[in-house]
């Protein structure tokens, strides 16, 4: 018999976070989170996202053993202000037993019906900065710290339970090629001169902080047209700023300003922490922190996390400036591969930006929908 339990205690929350460690034990492609950070993300007294979202944490038990987990999420801004009557679910992990998936997702259905919502979509997080989608292809590629990894049977479970594809995401990678990047040097100079633009480079996180709020304003302008967009509160921006900005190499953050000192473009690249996180195995101490610091300094792979361009500049070649700036850093650090975060299949504009690098799709993922 499968029992679904709503959890609230610190002990149960730790079990929730640690369940995937047993589910993916010895899997060389799964990238574990830092347990302490994951617990902080789920702490309603620490993470301001809970002022905008309701979350129900569920564990599934079979023979008194944990066999699945899931968070049922209602983003109130999305439901009440955008009038999108969506029931979300995320952090979905289960053993290969469809009855476990069925029991967890039936509880999500119940919550959705109780709140007069029209459909379920998942796996997705609380907002656009969270992880998204079930991996459907590319199981033999190492994951990243900003995506979920899962076993192939997740897709089968969802489809057998009547869920249908809602959104398709592509993940690309390409080998860093100095020649491909160097072609942007001349264009960069021309575009800077034509539009009176200047690039900003940083050597410390302290230099970046004054511009982060403006960066998120530009983020909203850039991504608000996407069907998945949900606004991020000022408190969430502050939380993100304190938690992540200081951990990103300052030289991997690039800003472009116009003649009036207005931010018109930004890009954030992160060194790959995947192998370091695998070595840390969920713990910062005693040795995990050293693996992460080493990766931060000398990882040969990078992930393009976010790129944003003011709408009026989106067809004016501003990305040439960004690529030229990164070329100088990548060449110095001996970067080998560039990896892109999941991008909506329908987002042709972003795909055109990368076309010159001949990227390959190495992973696919999707969210699933069920009408209530």
pLDDT per residue as tens digits for the range 218-252? 988 887 776 677 888 888 888 887 777 777 889 99
Burial of 106 (0-12, 13-18, 19+ CB in 10 A): exposed
Task: List the chain domain ranges.
Answer: 2-170, 177-335
Q: What is the pTM of this model?
A: 0.93
More confident residue, 246 or 35: 35
Q: How would CATH label the architecture of 177-335? A: 3-Layer(aba) Sandwich (3.40)
Biggest alpha carbon–alpha carbon distance for the chain: 69
Give the pLDDT confidence score for residue 16 in this predicted structure. 98
Tell me which fold the domain 2-170 belongs to: Aminopeptidase (3.40.630)
Ramachandran class of 196: left when φ > 0, alpha when ψ lies in -120 to 50, beta otherwise: left
- Quick: pLDDT tens for 73-107: 999 999 998 999 999 999 999 999 999 999 999 99
- Quick: pLDDT tens for 272-323: 999 999 999 999 988 999 999 999 989 999 999 888 899 999 889 999 999 9
Alpha carbons 331 and 328: distance in angstroms, whole number: 5
Token pair of 293 as six digits: 């610091």
H helix runs in 259-334, sequence order: 274-280, 288-298, 318-333
CATH topology identical between 2-170 and 177-335: yes
The CA-CA-CA angle for residues 311, 316, 322, to 5°, reads 90
- Quick: pLDDT tens for 112-144: 999 999 999 999 999 888 999 999 999 999 999
Give 256's Cβ-side CA count (13 Å radius).
29
Alpha carbons 166 and 365: distance in angstroms, whole number: 11
User: In the chain, what is the straight-line distance between the N-terminal and C-terminal CA atoms, in Å?
Assistant: 25
């Amino acid at each position: 018999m499968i029992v679904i339990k709503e959890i609230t205690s610190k002990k149960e929350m730790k079990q929730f976070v640690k369940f995937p460690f047993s589910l993916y034990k010895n899997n060389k492609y799964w990238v574990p989170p830092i347990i302490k950070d994951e617990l902080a993300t789920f702490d309603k007294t620490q993470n301001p996202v809970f002022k905008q979202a309701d979350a129900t944490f569920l564990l599934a038990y079979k023979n008194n053993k944990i066999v699945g987990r899931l968070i049922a999420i209602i983003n109130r801004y999305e439901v009440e202000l955008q009038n999108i009557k969506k029931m979300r679910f995320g952090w979905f992990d289960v053993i290969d037993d469809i009855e476990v998936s069925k029991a967890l997702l039936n509880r999500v259905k119940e919550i959705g019906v109780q709140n007069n919502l029209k459909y379920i979509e998942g796996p997705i997080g609380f907002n656009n900065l969270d992880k998204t989608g079930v991996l459907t292809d590319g199981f033999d590629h190492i994951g990243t710290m900003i995506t979920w990894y899962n076993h192939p049977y997740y897709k089968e479970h969802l489809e057998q339970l009547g869920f249908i594809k809602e959104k398709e995401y592509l993940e690309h990678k390409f080998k860093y090629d100095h020649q491909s990047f160097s072609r942007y040097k001349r264009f960069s100079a021309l575009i800077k001169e034509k539009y009176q633009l200047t690039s900003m480079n940083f050597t410390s996180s302290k230099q970046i902080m004054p511009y982060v709020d403006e960066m998120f304003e530009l983020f909203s302008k850039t991504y608000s047209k996407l069907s998945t967009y949900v606004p991020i509160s000022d408190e969430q921006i502050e939380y993100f700023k304190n938690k992540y900005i200081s951990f990103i190499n300052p030289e991997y953050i690039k800003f472009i300003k116009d003649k009036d000192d207005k931010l018109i473009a930004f890009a954030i690249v992160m060194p790959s922490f995947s192998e370091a996180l695998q070595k840390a195995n969920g713990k910062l101490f005693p040795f995990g922190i050293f693996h992460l610091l080493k990766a931060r300094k000398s990882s040969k792979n990078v992930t393009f996390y976010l790129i944003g361009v003011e709408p009026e500049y989106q067809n004016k070649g501003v990305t040439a400036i960004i690529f030229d700036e990164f070329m100088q850093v990548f060449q110095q650090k001996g970067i080998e591969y560039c990896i892109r975060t999941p991008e909506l299949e329908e987002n042709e504009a972003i795909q055109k930006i990368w076309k010159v690098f001949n990227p390959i799709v190495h992973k696919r993922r999707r969210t699933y929908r069920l009408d209530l």
